[in-house]
Chain A
Amino acid sequence: MSHRSFSILKRVITHHPNSSHLLSFQRSVTYMPRPGDGAPRPVTLIPGDGIGPLVTGAVEQVMEAMHAPVHFEKYEVHGNMKQVPQEVLDSIRKNKVCLKGGLRTPVGGGVSSLNVQLRKELDLYASLVNCFNLPGLPTRHENVDIVVIRENTEGEYSGLEHEVVPGVVESLKVITKFCSERIAKYAFEYAYLNSRKKVTAVHKANIMKLADGLFLESCREVATKYPGIKFNEIIVDNCCMQLVSKPEQFDVMVTPNLYGNLVANTAAGIAGGTGVMPGGNVGADYAVFEQGASAGNVGNTNLVEQKRANPIALLLSSAMMLRHLQFPSFADRLETAIKFVIAEGKYRTKDLGGDSTTQQVVDAVIAALD
């Protein structure tokens, strides 16, 4: 598809940082919209907690500067609320697309995580994180291009815990064939539509024979329907070991809920950090885009006060959102500008080794838009 050739072209050309302007004159594949596709689409925006408002503000500024055909409906949601407000859910159901910052869940506070609640309410059963090396950003590992697809609704995050007797607590991990099958189907479909070659299932079925065994069985069944895509399985502890030594062997990874969290954060860490990896949650009807891996998406008080949060992850996720809304050319412009800014290296936030503020990075991205 045109997207793939665009990204290939981009990767070739953006090795030369000054050539981002060349791309707009060398577009060889055109996208044919339907009349009326240019009408501004409403998107629900949830700034969230901590650095959330800072980075969503960054996205708003960049969208404004690009004159992108999206307008945001902002809703305030905070992590210590008992549940996600009904009006927010209604808005997302109407708009079908949402962009959100992180929601801080109080640890051990008896409030169930609003992030998890949102995913369950809207049945966003697949969480996707794309971890890749950004050109120009030095990391310990090269050739990383991993997409972690994680089951988002059940598994260890079922929230079913109880105290059996004082001092003994049980937590239920639920795995169903229905959910395992649909996440496996999504993973293979993603691989097929994005020309990926290999899907790896991550599990611990040698110990949790029934639970992860069921997950694996579902993956194997779906694999038979996609003979062109290679399928293999790896145990989660070996997987983490391989990720830190030879990450180039992984392509698309499909995992149950908890392992997905760990693997996504590890993969994001080796490829440059969670401040730059895009991602989102998608279901049959709705899509919510946010910073890919969950570590650090609320930040700490220092980052908030000094306004030094990294907006790149949310900006790249918003580019994914633009593509999801079928505005590919805006998505490409944004991605090119971001990659140019990172490759140039002058404006990078602290987690990437620089010391710019959020606003400086945003201004640089806006300036790099052609």
Chain B
Amino acid sequence: MASQLVRRLARSRLDGILSSSSPNPSFFNRSFSSESNLIRATLFPGDGIGPEIAESVKQVFRTADVPIEWEEHYVGTEIDPRTQSFLTWESLESVRRNKVGLKGPMATPIGKGHRSLNLTLRKELNLYANVRPCYSLPGYKTKYDDVNLVTIRENTEGEYSGLEHQVVRGVVESLKIITRQASLRVAEYAFFYAKAHGRERVSAIHKANIMQKTDGLFLKCCREVAEKYPEIVYEEVVIDNCCMMLVKNPALFDVLVMPNLYGDIISDLCAGLIGGLGLTPSCNIGEGGVALAEAVHGSAPDIAGKNLANPTALLLSAVTMLRHLELHDKADRIQDAVLKTIAEGKYRTGDLGGKSKTTEFTKAICDHI
């Protein structure tokens, strides 16, 4: 296990040396097509309510004239031996080629002998950062009205390495791995994101007073990257302080960058602050500038096919995808339309307390564009 890590590290060091030592990070190693050409993007509608909300997204994008051409891929019915899961090699190749994708909710089929779908995507596409912008939706009242923060979570290592074993009967050990390479990668992305989106502060969340070497290494990497961005304020917050401050006064935070486990908990906490997973956008960033936006809620099989689903999460995730593609004006227009529709309150789906159907909600958004 340690030798695998050493090999991975050595390989990446070699890649780093061979590729340019340019100041631009690798998120931009791709040519963006101009407005006149269409950008190809992979779309995984997913299961349950997935196809309906994907249809909503396509409709909204058509109305807004977004220059994106969708390549739809579905989860297969048998295990593809090349990927050891229900996702086919073609689907993954498509995302690798297009560098941009949108994923609906996928239900992992129960059984053995294959990897979970999310794990497959994460490992094959090397998705190392999960970005969730959380902002209070005007018009949908929760107990917190002034949330405007972004959580960036390291997605490959940490406590979720999956390396556990039973030492003797009744004693289990679980390994938490932190590497310099992964921490630097996510810290670089966090600061790059903060700069690109005009954010002023980046806070690193840690528990380095207890886990001194692991979280200490994470903090050291964040500090190194912080020095390269002197215009962005950098601070370090212990996780228990962070939890308390988030529930008392979420306006104190701007961009949060953290290792895997804390990121999981804090990003779900922030989703709870703004109204739940049904409204939260999310985007996974991978090596080589791959961006896979996804809706983090479940596939809700009980309301599938009944035109009752809320497409907000997938729409806002699609907006983050557009921002990654630097189509900021289209992103702003769609986001404003969604927020205005929810704020008006006339067309709201069941989970927001209204009675509209998915299609009516979508149409209202299109009218607002």
Contacts and interface: CB of A to CB of B under 8 A. Distances in A.
A161 B247 CA distance: 31
A64 to B, nearest CB: 31
B234 to A, nearest CB: 14
Interface of A: 105-110, 112-113, 116, 140-141, 156-157, 159, 161-178, 204, 207-211, 214, 236-238, 240-245, 258-259, 261-262, 264-266, 268-270, 273-274, 293-296
Nearest to B262: A262
B10 to A, nearest CB: 10
Given A106-B209, A177-B169, A268-B244, 19 more contacts: A112-B212, A164-B5, A166-B180, A168-B9, A169-B213, A170-B177, A170-B214, A171-B176, A171-B177, A209-B164, A240-B243, A240-B272, A245-B142, A245-B143, A245-B272, A265-B240, A265-B241, A269-B245, A295-B241
B224 to A, nearest CB: 12
B243 A266 contact: yes
Contact of B143 (A141, A172, A238, A261): A141
Given A172-B173, A245-B276, A258-B207, A236 B265 contact: yes
A162 B272 contact: no
Q: Is the interface of B mostly helix, strand, loop or mixed?
A: helix
Contacts of B241: 265, 295-296
Given A140-B144, A262-B243, A156 B177 contact: no
Nearest to A261: B240
B162 A244 contact: no
Nearest to B180: A167
Among B180, B208, B261, B264, max chain A CB count under 10 A is at B261
B240 A295 contact: yes
Contacts of A261: 207, 239-240
Given A168-B9, A262-B243, A210 B172 contact: yes
22 contacts: A105-B209, A107-B209, A164-B6, A167-B217, A168-B6, A169-B213, A169-B217, A172-B175, A173-B159, A211-B164, A214-B170, A237-B264, A242-B272, A244-B143, A245-B143, A258-B261, A259-B265, A262-B240, A270-B247, A295-B240, A295-B243, A296-B241
A264 B209 CA distance: 18
Given A169-B217, A244-B273, A269-B243, A238 B268 contact: yes
Interface string B241-256: 1011111100000000
9 smallest CB-CB distances across A and B, nearest first, come from A241-B272, A177-B170, A167-B180, A237-B268, A269-B247, A269-B244, A161-B213, A211-B174, A240-B269
B110 interface: no
Contacts of A112: 212
Nearest to B218: A169
Contacts of B74: none
